[in-house]
Each structure stands twice: as structure tokens, then as C-alpha cells.
Structure 1
Amino acid sequence: MDSVLRVEQIEKYFGNKGNVTKAIDNISFSIEKGEFVGIMGPSGSGKTTLLNCISTIDHVTTGNIQINGTDITQLKGGRLEKFRRDELGFIFQDFNLLDTLTGFENIAIALTIQGRNPSEITQLVEKAAAKLEITSVLNKFPYQMSGGQKQRVASARAIVTNPSIILADEPTGALDSKSSRLLLDAFEKLNDEMQATILMVTHDAFTASYAKRILFIKDGKVFNELIRGTDSRKEFFSRIIEVVTLLGGDTNNVF
């Protein structure tokens, strides 16, 4: 299989000479095309810093991160902006939709920036909306949508350019249980039917159980790894809870 993401011995330090914090401590792993990988860990474990480095929001102190063979730690300026726009799809906890644009227009932004022609944009937006079952809200503004609909519009925006990898940061954090399940079912569909490569940070074991593999981060290092294999989602959830307990004991407030 081809590695979409390769993280090689990365470290990240914050602070100055007198007060240095090591947020990431020599982490290495890879993600193959079509994988759905979750990252979990206690607060302060480094999982968000790790995602920020992979998403080019932050920079590693040492080590390398490659996406489709391109070392993103070496990209700067316009080259970095173009790579981010063309190769990465982002899904945030707070949706990040533009209130003055319709669902259609929010999804179409990235395609417009890429210079796609209007008929192609319409076709791609409608296809993404159909996959995520949000065709009915394409003409609505964010204030007219439920939280779950907003997050699925944000997800459509993330996949419409066919990025190399989708990076999701606590995507269900602002959703109720029903909306969370609908979104996660959509993620599962994107992964199974479109072979979308997804890397998702979550504190929630139920959300993590939709992934095919989980990396657990503790004190800036990979503490454990679980592979779902042939387990049902319920069985995988139980195994995740066991590791969460090892990480901190109380599954209600560890994450």
C-alpha cells in the first residue's frame, strides 16, 4: 500500500531557554491510502499539537512529515499555501462556515479558489452534498441549519477538492448524540465507498470506535495502538475503553 502520511521522528518544543516544554517526543507513524485513523490521549498529551503540525498550522522542531512524498516541513510561503489548499481537507469542531454564504457557496469556496469552471463546481458540490445527505440545505444559510447539518456542510467542503488526507479535529465535539452518529456514519461511508483517508483527533471513545486504527498519545509519545481488524464497532469500543482506563483510570474525565 502507498503511504499518504509519513511522520518521522518529530519533536516539538514550546517556550524559551529557561522554561521549555516538550509537547511531542520522537513520534513516528504512517497512514496508508484509504485508512481511517483516530488519535486519542489525555489533555496535554500532545495530540492536538501533533495534528497542528501535520495540518501545517504549526511547525515541528525536529523531524519530518511527508504527505504523498512531499516533505511539508520544508514548504514555505506560496508553496505551502498551495499544498494546504490542494492536498489537505480540514474539519473543525466549530464548523468554520461563513455566515453570509449558503451551504452551496461554503462548499464551493475551495473549488473557486482553485479556478474550477462553474459547471464543474456545481457538479462536484452536488456530488459531495449527496454523499453526506445535505442536498436539502445547499440553499440555506448556516443560521438556518442544525449543528449536525453545519458539520456535514463543513465535511463536504473538506472532501470536495478530493484531498490526499482529511484532518478532523474533535468533529463531534459540538454535536448532540444523534448528530454525532449521523456525521460518523457519513465518515464511515466516505472511508468505505470513496477510500477517503481520514485522521481524526477525538477525546470520545464512541467517536473513536468508527476508526479502523487508534493511536494513543501520552506525554508526547505513542503510548499504545489498537487495530480494529474484524471486531464489530461495539467490540472495538470496549477495547478502546480498556486503553483509556490504562491511560488515566477515570473514563469520564480523562479526555
Structure 2
Amino acid sequence: MNSILTVEKIEKYFGHKGNVTKAIDNISFQVEKGEFVGIMGPSGSGKTTLLNCISTIDTITTGHININNKDITVLKRKALENFRRDELGFIFQDFNLLDTLTAYENIALALTIQNRGTREIDRLIKDVAKKLEIAELLNKFPYQLSGGQKQRVASARALVTEPSLILADEPTGALDSKSARLLLDTFEKLNKEFESTILMVTHDAFTASYAHRILFIKDGRIFNELIRGDDTRKEFFNKIIEVVTLLGGDAGNVL
């Protein structure tokens, strides 16, 4: 198998001497090319800190993180910026679209930063828009789009540079149930048809049930792991709920 992400014995501390918090406690795991992996856990479990470290937004205290065979923990600032630009795609809960730009221009930003040519940018945007069925939205501004449409545009922006790894942070958190389902169907399409590798943090068991594998984080450590295998999404959802209950006994506090 080809590992896109390898996390090796990482730890992350916050605070100073006498008042130190260990947010990540000796976590190791791998994500293979084409996998769709979810990360779940109660508030304060360390899952967002983990995603921030993988996304290069934050740094770890000890250990190593390798993405596409590059150890990002040893990269200097400029090299890290270039790596983030070329290898990672981001999908955020609040979309992060610029209101003064059309959907086309928002998607184009990622390519412009890479110094792609005008013709190539146009071709890539139209190609990804067709794949994600948002061609009719390209000339609209964010205020003209629904939450679900905004998130599909954000997904196109993440996909258009063909990154090694797509990182999604609570991608359905700001969406109604219908829009959330449409977005998750889009994620399935990204993963199955385009072999995109996705790592997603979520509180929601329904959202998590779309993934192939779930890592459950508790107190900065991996508490459990579920692999979907041949389960239907409903069967996988029920197994997720069982683990959520074990995590703290209060499912409403986790989901």
C-alpha cells in the first residue's frame, strides 16, 4: 500500500513549566492513498489539535508527520508554505470563500498562487466544476449561493490543485441536513471516482458514517478504531454510536 500520511509517535504540549497540558499523547497512524478517514472525539480530546498539526497550521512537540514521503516536521517556513500550497487541500466549516469574488474566482485563487497559466486555470476549473456539478454556479457570488452550494465550491477549490491529501474540519457543521447529505455525496464522489485521500474531523456520527475508517480520540490518545469494511452505511453508523457511548456515556456531548 502507498501511505499518503504517516503520523509517528507525535506529542503536543501547551503551556509553560508548572502548567503544561498534553493535547496529543503519543499518537501514531497511517492513511493510505485513496482512503477516506474520519476522526471523532469529545470536545477537548485533541482531534482539532491533531488536524492542525497535520495541516501545518500548528507544530508538534515531538514525533514526525510524513505526507507524501516528506517529513513536514523538519521543513523551514518557506518550504512549509510551498508544501501546504502544493500538497494539501482544505475544506472548512465556514467555507472561507471571499465575498467579493465569484465562485470561479474563488476556485482560481488556489491555482493563481501556484502561478498556473490563464488557459490552464480555465481548463482545470471547468473540469472540476463539471465533475462536481457546479458549472452553473461559477459566475455567482457567495451571497447568491446556499450553504451547500458554497461548500461544494469550497470542495472544488480544495480539489482543483490535485493535492495529495484533503483535510476537512467539521465540513457539515454549518449545513442543514439536506445540504449536509449532498456535500457528503460529493465527498464520496471525490473519494471513489477521483481517488482523493480525505482526512475529516467531525462530531457527527451520520457524517462519519461516510468514511472508510474512524479514529476515535480521547484525552489526546487513540481510544478506538472502526473499519467499515463491507458494512452498509447504516450498520457502520450504529457501530459508531456504540463507540461514542463508550467514549463518555453521553452521545449528545460527542456528536
Partners of 1:236 and 1:254 lie apart in 2 by: 17
The alignment partner of 2:14 has SS state of strand
Identity %: 78
What letter corresponds to residue 237 of structure 2 in structure 1? Answer: F
Deviation at 1:254, TM superposition (A): 2.5
Task: Indicate if the aligned counterparts of 1:131 and 1:186 stay in contact, CA closer than 8 A.
Answer: no
Query: Which 4+ residue blocks in structure 1 deviate beyond 2 angstroms?
Result: none
Partners of 1:18 and 1:61 lie apart in 2 by: 17
Partner of residue 122, structure 2: 122
Deviation at 1:127, TM superposition (A): 1.4
Once the two structures are superposed, the pairs formed by residues 53-92 of structure 1 within 5 Å of their partners are: 53-92=53-92
Partners of 1:50 and 1:195 lie apart in 2 by: 23
Partner of residue 184, structure 2: 184
**Gaps in structure 2 of 5+ consecutive residues:** none
Task: Indicate if the aligned counterparts of 1:34 and 1:191 stay in contact, CA closer than 8 A.
Answer: yes
My pick for the range that moved more, 74-83 or 220-229, is 74-83
Deviation at 1:253, TM superposition (A): 2.2
Partner of residue 143, structure 2: 143
RMSD: 0.7
Partner of residue 218, structure 1: 218
The alignment partner of 1:214 has SS state of strand
My pick for the range that moved more, 216-225 or 128-137, is 128-137
Partners of 2:126 and 2:202 lie apart in 1 by: 29
Deviation at 1:196, TM superposition (A): 0.2
Deviation at 1:131, TM superposition (A): 1.9
Partner of residue 160, structure 2: 160
Structure 1 residues 48-95: Cα deviation after superposition (integer angstroms, max 9, x where no partner): 000000000000000000001100011122111000000000000000
Partner of residue 132, structure 1: 132
Partners of 2:83 and 2:44 lie apart in 1 by: 29
Partner of residue 100, structure 2: 100
My pick for the range that moved more, 3-12 or 67-76, is 67-76
Partners of 1:212 and 1:150 lie apart in 2 by: 25
Partners of 1:212 and 1:127 lie apart in 2 by: 26
Partners of 1:196 and 1:38 lie apart in 2 by: 14
Deviation at 1:144, TM superposition (A): 0.5
Partner of residue 44, structure 1: 44
Partner of residue 15, structure 2: 15
Partners of 2:132 and 2:62 lie apart in 1 by: 38
* Mapped pair 1:201 → 2:201: yes
Give the length in aligned residue pairs: 255
Q: Give the alignment's TM-score, normalised by structure 2.
A: 0.99
What letter corresponds to residue 83 of structure 1 in structure 2? Answer: F
Deviation at 1:247, TM superposition (A): 0.5
